[in-house]
Amino acid sequence: MLHFQAIGPGFAVQPYLGVSLILGTATALGGVAGTLAEDRDRIWWYALAEGLLTAAAYAVERLPGLPLAGRDPGRWYGSPGARTLAFLGVLLAVLAAWTLLARFRRRRTRMPVTSAYDRDLMSIPRPNRSGE
């Protein structure tokens, strides 16, 4: 929702910033749809990438500033909504990394499957077709 709310002010600063916020909204909605559809590692990798890119965009803007945005490099991302967006990006990246690490450790230690949910998350081994 923060991406969506910032689209209008983003276009006021520079058109490419508004377009990037539309793309950010689309990627966030795609991640939500993916998480609702399945809970596999690839969705968490997607969330990790999205969170890191959101936080990196804030950091890049704060250091060199936005191209073509005038002499005030921090006028866009200095707003509380933009800081909140960067903070949520970092939180999303931490959550995704934590989830991926926990799943990796569980697979590595070969903990027993104790529920149907855990069984659904396991990858299905492919049959050996060497005799065909």
Q: What is the pLDDT of residue 109?
A: 78
Averaged pLDDT, 84-104: 87
Q: What contacts 47, CB < 8 A, 6 or more positions away?
A: 31, 35, 92, 93, 95, 96
Residue 88: what are its φ and ψ, rounded to 5°? -65, -35
pLDDT higher than 70, residue 78: no
Q: What is the pLDDT of residue 75?
A: 53
Torsion of CA 41, 1, 77, 70, to 10 degrees: 110
Q: What is the pLDDT of residue 53?
A: 87
| 3-class secondary structure per residue, 43-75 | HHHHHHHHHHHHHHHHHHHHCCCCCCCCCCCCC
Give per-residue burial for 48-72: e unless 16+ CB within 10 Å, then b: bebbbebbebbeebeeebbeebeee
First-to-final CA distance of the chain:
53
Averaged pLDDT, 10-20: 74
> pLDDT for 18-76, tens place per residue?
787 788 788 888 888 887 887 788 888 998 998 898 888 777 776 666 666 555 545 55
